[in-house]
Amino acid sequence: MKPRTLKLPPHYRLQDVLAFHRRDSESVAEQVGEQSLRKGLLLDGRAALLSIEFDAAHAPESARYQLELDGSTSAAAQKQLDDVLHSVLGLRLDPQPFCDFAADDALFGALTRAQPGLRVVQSATLFEALTWAIIGQQINLSFAIALRRTLIQQAGRQHSSGLWCYPDAAAVAALEVEALTSRKFSRAKAETVLRLARLVADGSLTLELSASNSIEQVSEALLAVKGIGPWTVNYGMLRGYGYADCSLHGDVAVRAALQHLLGEDSKPELALTEQILARYSPHRTMAAAHLWASLHPRSAD
């Protein structure tokens, strides 16, 4: 595929996007440079390498991207690529409506002014987002990243470039639980990942949205899966769909940020956190993003 150019929004915060994809220091599935991102993908069942270059000096607010597919391209692969680009570049959710909504707000007004243009980056696929949410349940980030790496190397596929591609549901469904528990997954976490994968792979659970499968229906179906609770569903909706109104009241970092904002001695209880975030519906996803960012402030790009 010949290189193509994608226009980016004004005041695009490139470093936030690159930081999200730079989480794995071993770079098994993503390689991130100062102005570049290379990511292994499965597109229409084929291993692919997506390369994105950013040149703020000569082509501000644009990205030049190229796809190297192991095998022939297809219309389905191109459609999937368009979806992936919007996800990995954080283009699914416009941050401005929340900034306008909270401009004069006592809690969030100062946060939005401190982090203008802050975006929520999505995982490349819905399945990746949901499995990442399961993996990240109740453990620290570095351990979650190590478990993610294990899942990729146990069930993923390598592109001819050497980068690994995050596995699809069918590949994960084919694993035995011991393939994960022998590599530091808890049995409960491993069983939940495999349970989700098998439901998706056999068609019992449809993740794609449609006129007959709303985001509310997907959420309800996910909550019915053993091992998946409200936090996992909301975080999966945030990272997978770019859904604008995810309530992350169960998130420890969200509660820690609220504690700081409120000047309290301890984190607010779940019920109070939920009540506070409810005031910002239908923009609760961006509220959570600004709370996270407040714990690790950085200057605007």
Alpha-carbon span 268 to 254, nearest angstrom: 10
Number of domains in the chain: 3
Would you say residue 145 lies in a domain? no
pLDDT at 204 over 70: yes
Same domain, 69 and 99: no
Q: Considering only CA atoms, give the Rg of the chain.
A: 19
CATH (domain of 78): 3.30.310.20
Same domain, 55 and 105: no
Same domain, 156 and 118: no
Same domain, 282 and 209: no
pLDDT at 60: 67
The boundaries of the domain holding residue 211 are 126-133+150-227
Q: Please tell me the number of Cα atoms within 13 Å of 19 on its side-chain side.
A: 11
Q: For 241-291, how does the pLDDT look when each residue is reduced to its tens digit (9 = 90+)?
A: 999 999 999 999 999 999 999 999 999 999 999 999 999 999 999 999 999
DSSP assignment letter at 297: -
Beta bridge partners of 44: none
pTM of the model: 0.92
Nearest Cα neighbor of 270 from 297, 287, 295, 248 is 248
pLDDT at 301: 32
Same domain, 156 and 213: yes
Q: Please tell me the number of Cα atoms within 13 Å of 58 on its side-chain side.
A: 5
pLDDT at 150 over 70: yes
Cis peptide before 97 (omega within 30 of 0): no
Q: For 43-98, how does the pLDDT look when each residue is reduced to its tens digit (9 = 90+)?
A: 999 999 999 999 876 666 899 999 999 987 788 888 899 999 999 999 999 999 99
Cα first-last separation, the chain: 31
